[in-house]
Amino acid sequence: MALLAPSILSANFGNLDKDLDMINSSEADWFHIDIMDGVFVPNISFGFPVLEAINKKAKKIKDAHLMIINPDQYFQTFKKLGIDYITIHYEACIHLNRTIQEIKNLNMKAGVALSPHTNTNLLEDIIDDLDLVLVMSVNPGFGGQKFIENTYRKIASCKDLIIRKNSKALIQVDGGVCLENAKKLTDSGADVLVAGSCIFNAKDPLQMIKDLKISTK
C-alpha cells in the first residue's frame, strides 16, 4: 500500500484547523506542504506564519515541497517549524550536493523534485544521498492540473536508477493524482502519492483518503 500525503494547498485556508484535524484523524500518512515564491513558479502559496499554525496542529510527518530559488537560507527555519522532509527542485539548485548535505546536517530527510522536463538520469551522482525523489506529474505551481501521462515511464526509470545504485530513496509523485491513476502509479514504482484537489474537492474527503489508500493495495 502506498503512503498518502494530502496537499494542504487545496485546503480551506479560511478554516485550516478543520482540514488539519480531518487529516489527523484520517488514514493519510503525511502532510504535503507546498511553498512557492512567485519566482521559481508563477504562484505564491504561503509562508512561515501559516507553517507555524500547521505545525501546531499537524500530528503526522510534515513534507515540505519547496518551489523556491535559493532554498538553503531557510532550512533552519523549516527545521524549527517541525518539517521532517525537505524537497528542493533540481532546476532551482546550482550546488545540489551542498544543498542536500545542508538539509541532512539539520537532521531532516532530503528530497529532490524533478519537473516534467527533467530527466531522471541527472540524479545518477546524487541518488545515494537522497531520501526521496519527487517526480512531478504536472508543471509545478498550481493544484488541479491535468496529469501528464509520461509520468508512469518516468517513475519506472527512477525506480531502475534506485535499484541499480542500491539507494534507499522513496519515489513520490505529485500532481493530478486521483482514484483512476493511483494504482497504476504504485505499480510503476511510486511509494508516496501526493493528492490535493482529489481529496479536498471530494464530497467526503475522509472516504476519499480511504479509497485512495485501498486502491493502491
- 47: annotated binding-site residue? no
The packing angle between helices 205-215 and 16-24, to 10°, is: 40
Contact 82, 59 (CB under 8 A): no
| Residues near ligand DX5, by CB under 6 A | 7, 9-10, 32, 34, 65, 138, 140-145, 174-177, 194-198
Our CB check for ligand DX5 shows the closer of 48 and 142 to be 142
Q: Report the nearest approach of ligand DX5 to the CB of residue 138 (Å).
A: 6
Contact 23, 6 (CB under 8 A): yes
- 175: annotated binding-site residue? yes
Q: Which of 34, 37, 63, 191 is catalytic?
A: 34
- 174: annotated binding-site residue? yes
Contact 159, 175 (CB under 8 A): no
User: Alpha carbon of 81 to those of 33, 77, 84, 88, 170: distances in Å?
Assistant: 12, 6, 9, 17, 23
Our CB check for ligand DX5 shows the closer of 69 and 165 to be 69
Our CB check for ligand DX5 shows the closer of 46 and 128 to be 46
The packing angle between helices 16-24 and 48-57, to 10°, is: 40
Q: Is 34 a catalytic residue?
A: yes
Q: Is 174 a catalytic residue?
A: yes
Active-site annotation, residues = 34, 174
Annotated binding-site residues for substrate read 7, 65, 141-144, 174-176, 196-197
